[in-house]
Structure 1
Amino acid sequence: MSEPIRVAAVDLGATSGRVMACRVGARTLHLEELHRFDNGAVPVHGDLFWDALGIHREVLVGIREVARTGPLHGIGIDSWAVDYGLLDADGRLLANPRSHRDRRTDGVPARVRETVTDAELYDVSGLQQLPFNTVYQLVSELGTPALEAAVQLLLLPDLLTYWLTGEAGAERTNASTTGLYDVRTREWATDLAKRLGLPWSILPPLRDPGAVVAPLLPEVGEYVGVTGVPVIAVGSHDTASAVVGVPATEGSFAYISSGTWSLVGLELDAPVLTEEARAADFTNEGGVDGTIRFLKNVMGLWVLSESVRTWADKRLTDVTLPALLAGAEVEPPLRTIVDINDPRLLTPGDMPSRIQDLARETGEPIPRTPVAIARTILDSLALAYRRNIRLAATLAGREVDVVHLVGGGSQNSLLCQLTADALGVPVLAGPAEAAALGNGLVQARALGADLPDLAAMRDLIRRTHDVRRFEPRSGLDWDSAESRLTSGG
C-alpha cells in the first residue's frame, strides 16, 4: 500500500448521522468528520417512522463533501440494526420504514410464541428476545397492504446501498439481528419464516462484510462529483464495525459499545446456544471475519439524553449535559439503583419521571433533582455492565482481563470510571469513533490494504489512536447494590 486509501465512512446513529473521510495507510489511520446531520424517528398519528429519503439526501451531501476535499476510493455504510424498508416490484419504497421504538410490536412476541417457542427461535437465530427484532416487526405487518405488495425487504444500510448502486442484498452482520438468520449456517432461516407465515422470498441475497457491491450509479456519481467509486459492504450493523474498531490489547477482553444503546459482550469464534444463554437473554450476532458477537443489549445513554431533552422541554435551560455530569461526580454514589433495562425506558417520553417511578416501586430513595437522576442513570448503567459482562464470561467459559469501552460513552469519564470500579478490571476508553474506524478499515482491506485479519486492523488502531485507562478503585459496595436490585429493594 504505497499511497493511503481514502474512503467515505457513513456512520448512522438513531439520533444523528456522520459522514467521515477515513484515510488508511501502512502507518496512518485518520478520520475527519465532513458532514453531520440530525436524525430521529418522526411521529405521525401515534406511529414512529424514519425519514429514509431525508437520510439518503444527507448521505449524498456527505459523500459529495468527501469527494470534494480529496480522493475517494470507496464508500461504506453502517447503522443501527433491525429496521427495514419494503420495495415493490419496480424497486420503489412502499412506505417510510418504521422505527424499532414504534409500539406496533406490543404483544407480538406472545403471538409468535403460539407458533414457534422462544427456545426454537433461539436455537436457530441465537438472538436475545427483544420486542423490536425484525421478525416481530414483520409479524405485526402480516395482512397489511405494504407487506402484501412487497417484493424485497432491505435493512436500512442495505436500502441506502441499493439507492447508491441499484444492487439489492443483505450484509450478514445486520441480517444476523433480524431473528430470521440461522446463526449456524449463516443463511436465511426460510423454514422459520414459513412457519410464521412470512413471505420468505422477500429476503435478499446475503453478502459478507468486505464484499464490493457495485460502483455508484451514473446519476449518483454525477450528483456527488465522482464516477466508478465502489460501494463496499462493511460490518453494516454499527456494533459490528465498532468491535472491529477495538484497539489491540493483551489478554482476553470484553467490550462495551456505548452510545444510544449499550452493546455489552465478548467476541467469540462460535455461538453459545445453551439454554442458560437463552434464559439469560444473550444474543449471538454475526461479526466481521465470521466472528460471533456474544452480547446483551443494555439500555444506553439514550436514557440520559432523553432526560436532558425532557428537561429542555420544561425550559430548565441550566440543565445541560456538562453541568449534569459535573454535578453527578459529587453526588452520593450508589444511593439509588434502578433496572436500567426496564421496558418502560424504551420509548420516548418523560424519562426522569419514569426513573423516579422505578425507584419508588423498588423502595429505593427517589432522586429528586436532575443531578441525582443523572447519577442514578450512570450508577445503574455501570451495574448493568458489571452484571452482564460477568455473566457473558461465565456462559462462554472465558476470563476477562480488560474491558474496552468504545463509542460516544468513552468520552464520559464518570461512566468509564464507574465501570472499572464495578467490574474490578481496567477499562480502556476509546476510540469514540470506533464504528467509523471499523467501517473504514474493512473498506480499505477490500481495496487492497495489507490488513489480512482483525488483529492487523486492531494493531493499526493501537498504533495511531490513544485510549484512556481507568484503573478500578475500591470502596464502593457493588455487591450490595446488585443485591438491592435483584431483591427489589
Structure 2
Amino acid sequence: MHRTSSGPSRHGAPVRCLAFDFGAGSSRAMLAERVDGRLALREVHRFDTATDSYDGQTCWDMAALYAGLADGLARARESGPVHAVGIDSWGVDFGLIDAGGALVMPPLHYRNGHGTQGLSQGLLSLEAMHRRTGAQRLDINTVCQLLAIAERWPARLAEADTLLMMADLLTAYLSGSHHAEYTLASTSGLIDPVRGDWDRDLVAELGLPTAMLPPMIPSGTICGTLRETLNGGQTSPTAVVAVGSHDTASAVAGLDLGAEEAFLILGSWSLLGVESDTPVYDARTLAHGFGNEGGVCGTHRLITNINGLYLIQMLREAWQTRHGVAPDYAEISAAASDAQLEASLRIDPDDDRFFAPDDMIAAIDDFCAAHGLGRPVGIGDYALAIYRGLADQIAARIRVLETVFERPVNALCVSGGGSQDAVLCAHIRAAAGKPLRPGAIEASAYGNALMQLKALGCIETLAEGRALLPEREPQAAG
C-alpha cells in the first residue's frame, strides 16, 4: 500500500505514535507524543522476548510476542487513541509462512549456530556474499540460516510461501500486509545494495525459492491499518507503518549525529559506524570486518558488529547459577569499578568462546588459561575483563574507520542501555581517546516514532524530525 494522507495532519490535533522496539532479550512499547516542540517518549509496556524450543533448537515464541503487541496496544489506548504504530527488531532472523499465513516452523534464534552449518555446505563463502551484497561477513546472516534450513528441514522450506524478517512478521500480525522493509532486509545477505532490492539471481544460484521473497518497500511506508480484532474499540483507524524496521536503522535515525561523529550503540551488540550517502563495500570492508546496511530516507551505514552487553547478561546468569543470587547491572558495574585486576587481564569479545556460552564464567576462565592470563575472582573482576575487552575492540575499529576508510571521528555519539554505564563508558573513552556525546538511550524508539510521523505527513524530512529529539544530559557518556 502506498503512503496516504489519512490520520492527524501536520498542524492538527496532537499525534500519538506507538513504537514497538523488539530486542533479542527484552522488548518495549513506547508511546511518542510531541510536547513543547520536542518528541516525548513514555514506556507503556515492557516484556521478555520469549524463546521456546523446536527440534532441539532455540526459537522465538511467537504467541508470546504477539501477546506483547496486543498488551502494548491496550495499555497505550488507556490514555487516548493511537494514531500509528510501527515495529523495529533485530536483524537476520525470520519466519517462513505458508499460503494461508501460518508459520511452517517457528523462527529460529540466530545464536543456535545453525548458520555455520548452512555456510559449511560450500555454496557461498562469506567473502563472496560480501562482495555481492555488502553484508558483514557473519555466519548468522539470513542467507546462511536459510541454507541450513534447506539442508535439515527441506519439507518445511518447500511449504513456505513467503519469507518475513522478524519485524515484518510482527507487522503482518498487526495489518495482514506481507512485505520486506528495506533496512531490515539489508541484514539478510540477499540484497543488491545498489538497486535496493532482492538479488534474485543470487537466491536462485543458491537453490533457494525466489518466489518466497515479498515486495520490497522503503521505511516510512504506511502498509495498512490495524486489524479490527486489535483496535480495542477505537473508532478512528490506526495506521501501521513500516518504519526503519531494523532496530539499528531506527536507532541511527533517532540520533542527531554531528559532523565527523560516529555512532556507538551499546546493547546486546556493540554497533559502531558512520552514516553514508552511498553503500560502501569493497576490499577494505572485506578485510576489516565492516559491512553496508541500509538506513532510512536513502541513507546507508558503514558498520561493524562487536559482541556487547550480552556478555554481561550471560555473566549475570552464570553467577546466579553458581551462587544463587543475581546482582543487578548497576551492582555489577560498581563491582567492576572497585576491582583490582592486573592490567593485562582482558578478554577478546569476538572469541568464539563468547558467542553462546553455557557458562560465561567458565568461558572467561578458559580464555584466560589459554592466553596465560591470571584468573578473575569476583564478579567485578569478570565484568572488568569484559569491559576492557569491549573498549579495546571499539577503539581498534575506530582506528580502522579513520585510517583505512579515511573517515575522521572526532567524537562518538553513544546510545543504548550501555551508555548509562559510567564504568564501561570511561574505559571506552580512555581506550579510544575520543569524547563520548550522549544520544538518546531509547534511540531506536525515537527513530521508529520519527518515521511514523513522516509517514503521516507530520514532518517532511529526517532532519526536521531529528530537531524534535530531546537533549540528554552528559552523565555516564560525557
Q: Which of the residues 421, 426, 436 maps onto 2:435?
A: 426
Matched, 1:410 2:419: yes
Q: Which of the residues 365, 375, 380 maps onto 2:374?
A: 365
How many aligned positions are there?
Answer: 465
Matched, 1:466 2:473: yes
Kindly provide the CA deviation profile for residues 82-112 of structure 1, in whole angstroms up to 9, marking residues without a partner as x.
111111111111121111111322333232x
RMSD: 1.8
The CA distance in 2 between the partners of 1:166 and 1:179, in whole Å, is 25
> What residue number does 1:212 align with?
222
AA at the equivalent of 2:335: G
The CA distance in 1 between the partners of 2:350 and 2:124, in whole Å, is 25
The 5 Å alignment of 1:451-462 reads 451-453=460-462, 455-461=463-469
AA at the equivalent of 1:53: A
Matched, 1:85 2:95: yes
Q: Is the 8 A contact 2:420 2:475 kept in 1?
A: no
Kindly provide the CA deviation profile for residues 281-323 of structure 1, in whole angstroms up to 9, marking residues without a partner as x.
2110001111111111110100001110111122342644322
Point out where structure 2 has 5 or more consecutive residues left out of the alignment. 1-9
Higher mean alpha-carbon deviation, 394-403 vs 176-185, is at 394-403
The CA distance in 2 between the partners of 1:193 and 1:45, in whole Å, is 26
AA at the equivalent of 1:366: R
Q: Which of the residues 233, 246, 250 maps onto 1:241?
A: 250
Matched, 1:10 2:17: no
Q: Is the 8 A contact 2:337 2:380 kept in 1?
A: no
> What residue number does 1:74 align with?
84
Matched, 1:175 2:185: yes
AA at the equivalent of 1:261: W
Q: Which of the residues 324, 327, 331 maps onto 2:335?
A: 327
Change (3 A) 1:35 1:320: closer
The CA distance in 2 between the partners of 1:118 and 1:309, in whole Å, is 32
> What residue number does 2:194 align with?
184
Q: Sequence identity, in percent? A: 34
Q: Is the 8 A contact 2:29 2:45 kept in 1?
A: yes
> What residue number does 1:486 align with?
none
Matched, 1:115 2:123: yes
Instruction: Specify the SS of the correspondent of 1:314.
Output: helix
> What residue number does 2:271 align with?
263
Change (3 A) 1:56 1:227: farther
Q: Is the 8 A contact 1:258 1:300 kept in 2?
A: yes
Kindly provide the CA deviation profile for residues 353-382 of structure 1, in whole angstroms up to 9, marking residues without a partner as x.
101211221222222221100000011111
TM-score between the two structures when normalised by the length of structure 1:
0.91
Higher mean alpha-carbon deviation, 354-363 vs 179-188, is at 354-363
The CA distance in 2 between the partners of 1:231 and 1:171, in whole Å, is 13
Q: Is the 8 A contact 2:118 2:146 kept in 1?
A: no
> What residue number does 1:439 align with?
448
Q: Is the 8 A contact 1:72 1:229 kept in 2?
A: yes
The CA distance in 2 between the partners of 1:19 and 1:381, in whole Å, is 29
AA at the equivalent of 1:212: I
The 5 Å alignment of 1:129-148 reads 129-142=137-150, 144-148=154-158
Offset at 1:22? 0.6
Change (3 A) 1:318 1:65: closer
> What residue number does 2:293 align with?
285
Offset at 1:451? 4.4
Change (3 A) 1:122 1:335: same
Matched, 1:380 2:367: no
Instruction: Specify the SS of the correspondent of 1:231.
Output: strand
The CA distance in 2 between the partners of 1:470 and 1:405, in whole Å, is 7
AA at the equivalent of 2:222: V
Q: Which of the residues 295, 304, 319 maps onto 2:312?
A: 304
Instruction: Specify the SS of the correspondent of 2:150.
Output: coil
Change (3 A) 1:43 1:355: farther
Change (3 A) 1:80 1:448: same
The CA distance in 2 between the partners of 1:181 and 1:435, in whole Å, is 23
Q: Which of the residues 345, 351, 355 maps onto 1:342?
A: 351
The CA distance in 1 between the partners of 2:183 and 2:318, in whole Å, is 34
Change (3 A) 1:408 1:470: closer
Instruction: Specify the SS of the correspondent of 1:107.
Output: helix
Higher mean alpha-carbon deviation, 191-200 vs 389-398, is at 389-398
The CA distance in 1 between the partners of 2:300 and 2:340, in whole Å, is 39
Kindly provide the CA deviation profile for residues 108-151 of structure 1, in whole angstroms up to 9, marking residues without a partner as x.
3232xx33344431122111111111000100111521101101
AA at the equivalent of 2:444: A
The CA distance in 2 between the partners of 1:310 and 1:44, in whole Å, is 24
AA at the equivalent of 1:81: G
> What residue number does 2:5 align with?
none
Change (3 A) 1:394 1:459: farther
Instruction: Specify the SS of the correspondent of 2:30.
Output: strand
Instruction: Specify the SS of the correspondent of 1:365.
Output: coil
AA at the equivalent of 2:394: Y
Q: Is the 8 A contact 1:152 1:203 kept in 2?
A: yes
The 5 Å alignment of 1:218-237 reads 218-221=228-231, 223=232, 225=234, 227-237=236-246
Instruction: Specify the SS of the correspondent of 2:90.
Output: coil
Offset at 1:225? 4.0
Kindly provide the CA deviation profile for residues 195-216 of structure 1, in whole angstroms up to 9, marking residues without a partner as x.
1101111011011110111111
AA at the equivalent of 1:228: P
The CA distance in 2 between the partners of 1:436 and 1:273, in whole Å, is 28
Offset at 1:9? 0.3
The CA distance in 2 between the partners of 1:326 and 1:374, in whole Å, is 10
Kindly provide the CA deviation profile for residues 222-281 of structure 1, in whole angstroms up to 9, marking residues without a partner as x.
x474552110011111011111111353x3111111111111111111222221210212
Offset at 1:160? 1.1
Change (3 A) 1:153 1:361: same
The CA distance in 2 between the partners of 1:448 and 1:281, in whole Å, is 38
Change (3 A) 1:18 1:303: same
Q: Is the 8 A contact 2:30 2:43 kept in 1?
A: yes
The CA distance in 2 between the partners of 1:105 and 1:470, in whole Å, is 35
